[in-house]
Protein backbone atom coordinates (compact mmCIF):
# COMPACT_ATOMS: atom_id res chain seq x y z
CA UNK A 1 0.00 0.00 0.00
CA UNK A 2 2.79 2.40 0.92
CA UNK A 3 4.61 1.45 -2.27
CA UNK A 4 1.59 2.38 -4.38
CA UNK A 5 1.39 5.77 -2.67
CA UNK A 6 5.07 6.42 -3.26
CA UNK A 7 4.77 5.31 -6.89
CA UNK A 8 1.79 7.62 -7.40
CA UNK A 9 3.77 10.44 -5.79
CA UNK A 10 6.75 9.81 -8.07
CA UNK A 11 4.51 9.76 -11.15
CA UNK A 12 2.82 12.99 -10.10
CA UNK A 13 6.20 14.57 -9.39
CA UNK A 14 7.44 13.56 -12.85
CA UNK A 15 4.35 15.12 -14.46
CA UNK A 16 4.87 18.35 -12.51
CA UNK A 17 8.54 18.48 -13.53
CA UNK A 18 7.58 17.91 -17.16
CA UNK A 19 4.95 20.64 -17.00
CA UNK A 20 7.40 22.99 -15.31
CA UNK A 21 9.92 22.29 -18.06
CA UNK A 22 7.36 23.18 -20.70
CA UNK A 23 6.43 26.45 -19.00
CA UNK A 24 10.12 27.33 -18.75
CA UNK A 25 10.54 26.55 -22.45
CA UNK A 26 7.53 28.75 -23.26
CA UNK A 27 8.86 31.66 -21.20
CA UNK A 28 12.29 31.51 -22.84
CA UNK A 29 10.64 31.25 -26.27
CA UNK A 30 8.61 34.40 -25.68
CA UNK A 31 11.45 36.48 -24.22
CA UNK A 32 14.11 35.47 -26.75
CA UNK A 33 11.86 35.78 -29.78
CA UNK A 34 10.59 39.21 -28.76
CA UNK A 35 14.21 40.34 -28.47
CA UNK A 36 15.17 38.79 -31.83
CA UNK A 37 12.18 40.35 -33.61
CA UNK A 38 12.85 43.78 -32.12
CA UNK A 39 16.52 43.66 -33.12
CA UNK A 40 15.72 42.30 -36.60
CA UNK A 41 13.12 45.02 -37.15
CA UNK A 42 15.73 47.74 -36.37
CA UNK A 43 13.87 49.08 -33.34
CA UNK A 44 17.15 49.87 -31.57
CA UNK A 45 18.98 51.27 -34.64
CA UNK A 46 18.67 54.56 -36.46
CA UNK A 47 17.50 52.65 -39.55
CA UNK A 48 13.90 52.40 -40.68
CA UNK A 49 11.76 50.14 -38.49
CA UNK A 50 10.44 47.22 -40.52
CA UNK A 51 8.22 44.58 -38.93
CA UNK A 52 6.85 43.42 -42.28
CA UNK A 53 9.89 41.47 -43.50
CA UNK A 54 9.40 37.70 -43.17
CA UNK A 55 12.98 37.02 -42.08
CA UNK A 56 12.25 38.72 -38.76
CA UNK A 57 10.07 35.76 -37.80
CA UNK A 58 12.05 32.74 -39.05
CA UNK A 59 13.46 31.84 -35.64
CA UNK A 60 10.06 32.21 -33.98
CA UNK A 61 8.42 29.98 -36.61
CA UNK A 62 10.91 27.11 -36.45
CA UNK A 63 11.33 27.30 -32.68
CA UNK A 64 7.52 27.45 -32.47
CA UNK A 65 7.31 24.12 -34.28
CA UNK A 66 9.55 22.62 -31.61
CA UNK A 67 7.49 24.27 -28.89
CA UNK A 68 4.27 22.84 -30.32
CA UNK A 69 5.77 19.35 -30.36
CA UNK A 70 6.87 19.85 -26.74
CA UNK A 71 3.32 20.95 -25.85
CA UNK A 72 1.82 17.91 -27.60
CA UNK A 73 4.08 15.65 -25.57
CA UNK A 74 3.34 17.38 -22.27
CA UNK A 75 -0.41 17.78 -22.62
CA UNK A 76 -1.36 14.69 -24.62
CA UNK A 77 1.24 11.95 -24.39
CA UNK A 78 1.87 12.42 -20.66
CA UNK A 79 -1.87 12.46 -19.92
CA UNK A 80 -2.79 9.36 -21.90
CA UNK A 81 -3.83 6.63 -19.55
CA UNK A 82 -1.56 3.87 -20.73
CA UNK A 83 -2.35 0.87 -18.53
CA UNK A 84 0.20 -1.35 -20.23
CA UNK A 85 3.04 1.05 -19.45
CA UNK A 86 1.89 1.53 -15.85
CA UNK A 87 1.63 -2.20 -15.28
CA UNK A 88 5.07 -2.73 -16.82
CA UNK A 89 6.58 0.01 -14.63
CA UNK A 90 5.04 -1.44 -11.48
CA UNK A 91 6.17 -4.94 -12.42
CA UNK A 92 9.75 -3.78 -13.00
CA UNK A 93 9.81 -1.77 -9.78
CA UNK A 94 8.58 -4.76 -7.80
CA UNK A 95 11.18 -6.94 -9.53
CA UNK A 96 14.01 -4.56 -8.63
CA UNK A 97 12.76 -4.19 -5.06
CA UNK A 98 12.69 -7.97 -4.65
CA UNK A 99 16.21 -8.27 -6.08
CA UNK A 100 17.51 -5.73 -3.56
CA UNK A 101 16.01 -7.65 -0.64
Q: How far apart are CA 96 and CA 55, in angstroms?
A: 53
Coil, strand or helix at 14: helix
Backbone angles phi, psi at 4, to 5 degrees: -65, -40
pLDDT tens by residue, the chain, 101 residues: 677 778 778 888 888 898 999 999 999 999 999 999 999 888 888 888 888 888 889 999 999 999 999 999 888 877 665 566 677 778 888 888 888 76
Report the pLDDT value the prediction gives residue 83, as an integer from 0 to 100: 62
Amino acid sequence: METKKSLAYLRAKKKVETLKGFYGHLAVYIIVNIAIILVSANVFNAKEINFAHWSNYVTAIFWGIGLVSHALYVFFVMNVNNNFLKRWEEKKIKQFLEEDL
